[in-house]
A and B are shown apart, each in its own frame.
Chain A
Amino acid sequence: MSLPKSEVMYGTLDLLVLKTLETLGPLHGYSIARRLHQVSREVLRLNQGTLYPALLRLEHNGWINSKWGTTETSRKARYYSITKAGRRRLQQEAGHWEQAAEIINRVLEGAF
């Protein structure tokens, strides 16, 4: 079964973006999408209409902040970086995710 492309499970996008930023440091939107694409072995393809609203939302919540910078090819780009609150949030979200995954796994394995 192949995963439908560009589909991100609801509620996990925040987690993915925060984790990417935590691991790789400040990135612009395009490279975030790229990285996620690569890391997911080319399965995840983030639509722009999904990624940027999510970035805005994360910024509103104070989990990331953004400022203008220049890329290696000296283009003007907005760089996003994770904040302290974002790291805390990431930890929480990751914890929730692991818990949820474990429960689902146990159910699927038939551990009744």
Chain B
Amino acid sequence: MVTRLRCVLSRLRFLSHRREFEGRLNDEWQLHLDLLIEEYARQGVPPDEARRRARVELGGRDRFNQECRDAGGFRLLEELRQDAGYTRRVLARNPGFTLVVVLTLALGIGASTAVFSIVDAFLFRPFPVAQPDRLARIGGLSSYPDFLDYRKDGQVFSDMAAVRDLMEFPIDRTGEFVWAEVVTANYFDMLGLRMTLGRAFVRGEDDYAQRHPVVVVSHRCWQRTLGSDPGVIGKTLSVEGEPLTIVGVAPRGFRGLDMAAMPPDLWLPISMLETVKHLDSDPVWHNVHLRRQDRWLGIVGRIKPGVSFDQARARVVLVTRQLKMSYPATDSADWQPKLDPVGGSRSAGADSATLFKLLIAAALCLLAISCTNVAGLLFARAFARQREIATRLALGAGRSRLIRQLLTESIILAFLAFALSLGVFQFLVGLLPWFARNFDPVLDVSLVLDRRIFVLCAATSAVATVMFGLAPALAGSRQELTTALKDQGLVRSRIPKSGRLGWLVVAQVILSVILLIGAGLFIRTILHFQSVDPGFKRNDLVIVPVSLRKQYGFDSAKGAEFCRRSPENNRWPAFLAFSVWSVCWLWQSGCTE
């Protein structure tokens, strides 16, 4: 092994000092000649004859040089250079062919890799939490007292946290709307997240007896709204008039446990729910944590080491049965919580999973199409080149040499395509936010080129290119030279009857039709979404968010008055009419123009 390595290194040293090497060969040759002449002279041969004999004995100088060069490891390099040069000329002579092959491959690889990377970012990349496969979610919603009972059981879960997402509400300083979740204080610790800044919630901060106005902000919120301020910890963020102390910044990429939902920007202790939402006077939410019949919480637990998922599930069923027996009035019989792996529910719901599968299928189709296209092109050219190949064989080119040359050609084509496909990937990924600008926060996942996927796509195409690129060599070495060289008619007669070409065409047509139909349907669906008639004219409507909170001087009477009178008191001449309502569902669909 060491010897082999040294051998390679030594050869490389020679290769990099080629001039020196040639000089050395010259010197050696000259010395040998001189010494030989001297020797003949010593034997009494006259100088001219000595010179002649020495030369005869030494043999051809070119051959000597060539043999030494081969031993010096120059031969392969020399041939590689020849091949590369020849390839360059061949490709430059057929710029159309080169362009089409390279573009087709680059589009195929680039687009497939882009789609795979997007799908991977949503579907397959594990949660940025510790051991996500040990996390489980109790399906459906539970009440707070039930949650406490589940957690108290402690048989199969090492820890358990409750989560509830809130509606979006505005940050007071900027008026920007953010999404928030309320969680139990152990939430971040249970997930095993390392905060970017500050700390997670600590035990007792979710205490209902003494509420703690603290908040953890998401990495994205910290960057966008708080300007990546490194000294943000301890500062106050005012939400709906409630000053909250920022205690931590969540790690980058953590977007809650539900990939389909809007990623939360803020996390608050669960006991802050009422305070922040100003629900004290709302009978539905007031003291909701005390009532067993109100189910509003999601529960996530970390399964103890050594406990299987099925054991955990059985335990949850058992505890549920006990709860039903203990509280028959509130925990009704039809309440059937089940245990799901968190990773499994991450696929953004069944619909999105199907969509992603379709996308993957489309990407595979695209890759296959580009490969068959290129294969077809290379194959067609193989027949066109039969005369050339035959000529070169007739001139004494070895089969292996021919194959090496065609291999060089294919590899150079493939490499050009790889280089271009990286550009295609960047371009497509750059387009994505533009396409999906209405869903911007949902798409806030980092899209990076997945090396494994790129290598896979590239390897597939490379194999196809090389395989079909070699076709002329294989066909050429089989054919009889005389028939190949004789006339043009051979091109037609040599098209194989085995139907390989026919098979290619069929595959190509089938794939293209599938992709075309798929794309057509997809576009129709999107167009359909955009043209859904909401039942009113949207073009001239403006939505103005207003907040009728206590801190702005409203109470329930004044608020009701505002809502009743605003439509009548049109103080802005630009508006024709007013209407007031409490929840605006059209918010997301971009009709605020």
Give the contacts of A63-89 with B (CB-CB under 8 A).
71, 73, 75-78, 85
| Contacts known (A53-B71, A73-B38, A76-B27); A48 close to B32, Cβ less than 8 A | yes
Q: From B35, which residue of chain A is reached at the shortest CB distance?
A: A30
Using a CB–CB cutoff of 8 Å, the interface residues on chain A facing chain B are 28-30, 33, 47-50, 52-54, 56-57, 59-62, 71, 73, 75-78, 85
Give the contacts of B64-89 with A (CB-CB under 8 A).
64, 67-68, 70-73
Q: How far is the CA of A73 from the CA of B71 in the complex (A)?
A: 30
Which of these, B3, B7, B11, B32, contacts A29 with CB under 8 Å? B32
Q: Are A30 and B32 in contact (CB under 8 A)?
A: yes
Q: Are A28 and B64 in contact (CB under 8 A)?
A: no
Q: How far is the CA of A93 from the CA of B67 in the complex (A)?
A: 24
Q: Are A75 and B63 in contact (CB under 8 A)?
A: no
Q: Are B71 and A48 in contact (CB under 8 A)?
A: no
Q: Are A75 and B34 in contact (CB under 8 A)?
A: yes
Q: Are B3 and A85 in contact (CB under 8 A)?
A: yes
Which of these, B11, B29, B34, B72, contacts A48 with CB under 8 Å? B29
Q: Are B68 and A53 in contact (CB under 8 A)?
A: yes
Which of these, A30, A54, A77, contacts B71 with CB under 8 Å? A54
Q: How far is the CA of A57 from the CA of B70 in the complex (A)?
A: 10
Q: Are B24 and A78 in contact (CB under 8 A)?
A: yes
The yes or no answer to B528 lying at the interface (CB within 8 A) is no
Q: Are B31 and A59 in contact (CB under 8 A)?
A: no
B201-220 vs A, CB cutoff 8 Å, 1 = contact: the mask equals 00000000000000000000
* Contact residues in A for B10 (Cβ distance below 8 Å): 59-62
Q: How far is the CA of A41 from the CA of B418 in the complex (A)?
A: 63
* Contact residues in B for A77 (Cβ distance below 8 Å): 27, 31
Q: How far is the CB of A53 from chain B (nearest CB, A)?
A: 3
Which of these, A54, A62, A73, A76, contacts B7 with CB under 8 Å? A62
Q: Are B27 and A49 in contact (CB under 8 A)?
A: no
Q: Are A78 and B27 in contact (CB under 8 A)?
A: yes
Jot down 7 A-B pairs with beta carbons below 8 A, ordered by A. A29-B32, A30-B35, A33-B32, A53-B70, A61-B3, A75-B31, A85-B3
Q: From A56, which residue of chain B is reached at the shortest CB distance?
A: B71
Q: Are A48 and B3 in contact (CB under 8 A)?
A: no
* Contact residues in B for A56 (Cβ distance below 8 Å): 14, 68, 71-72
Q: Are A47 and B68 in contact (CB under 8 A)?
A: no
The yes or no answer to B306 lying at the interface (CB within 8 A) is no
Given contacts A48-B64, A49-B59, A60-B14, 16 further A-B contacts (CB under 8 A): A29-B28, A29-B31, A30-B35, A30-B36, A47-B59, A49-B68, A52-B64, A52-B68, A54-B71, A56-B72, A60-B11, A60-B71, A60-B73, A61-B10, A71-B35, A77-B27
Q: How far is the CA of A50 from the CA of B63 in the complex (A)?
A: 11
Q: How far is the CA of A43 from the CA of B68 in the complex (A)?
A: 24
